[in-house]
Amino acid sequence: MKKHKKTIVICSVMLAIVILAIVLIKLGNNADFNDNQEVSQKPFNDLSAEDILSITVFAIPPNETVLVDDMVEIEIIVEILRTVIIYQKSDEWKNTGGQGVTFTISKTTDEVVEVRPYGSYLIIDGQGYRTEYQPSENLNRIANTILDTPFGGKPIE
């Protein structure tokens, strides 16, 4: 009788371990779908200036839009975009203040991508992500440079 109880206990423990292992494996496989997981990605890593027809830069203030279609200027913007690393999705940027800058990128494939740097956040096509501050700040600086000086850009009325 004692051997029978011991066998049942051992089998129960083994079954619990197997179930736990299966659950952990399933959770690990579904981790890509967890919005709170901190996974770094470089969404513009494969972007090149040749992929872009033009970029419009809008900032408020000063509530001005400039069209950038010069390849040298586009290359500068692309190089900054290629340094951007995004992490988990976040809507916290909606609770912060400051200048709003929007880059609307028109690609040769007719795709349009909207990028808004906002401090430690980057909004891509309306979805916010946590990001490193410096690339976002660099995008703001180049936008203000474009808006403050002609930089080859053409104001849009």
Indicate yes or no: pTM above 0.85: no
Residues 81 and 139 in one domain: yes
Report the chain's terminal Cα–Cα distance, integer Å.
91
Q: Report d(CA 67, CA 157) in Å as an integer.
A: 10
Digit-coded pLDDT (tens) for 22-76: 766 665 544 444 444 456 799 999 999 999 999 999 998 888 999 998 899 999 9
Pair (22, 85) in one structural domain: no
- Residues 72 and 140 grouped into a single domain: yes
Does residue 14 share a domain with residue 57?
no
State whether 69 and 141 are in the same domain: yes
The letter for the amino acid at 48 is S
State percent of the chain over pLDDT 70: 76
In a domain, 106, yes or no: yes
* 1 vs 7: CA distance, rounded Å: 10
Largest CA distance in the chain: 91
Q: Containing domain of residue 27, as a range?
A: 2-33
In a domain, 132, yes or no: yes
* Rg over CA atoms, the chain: 24
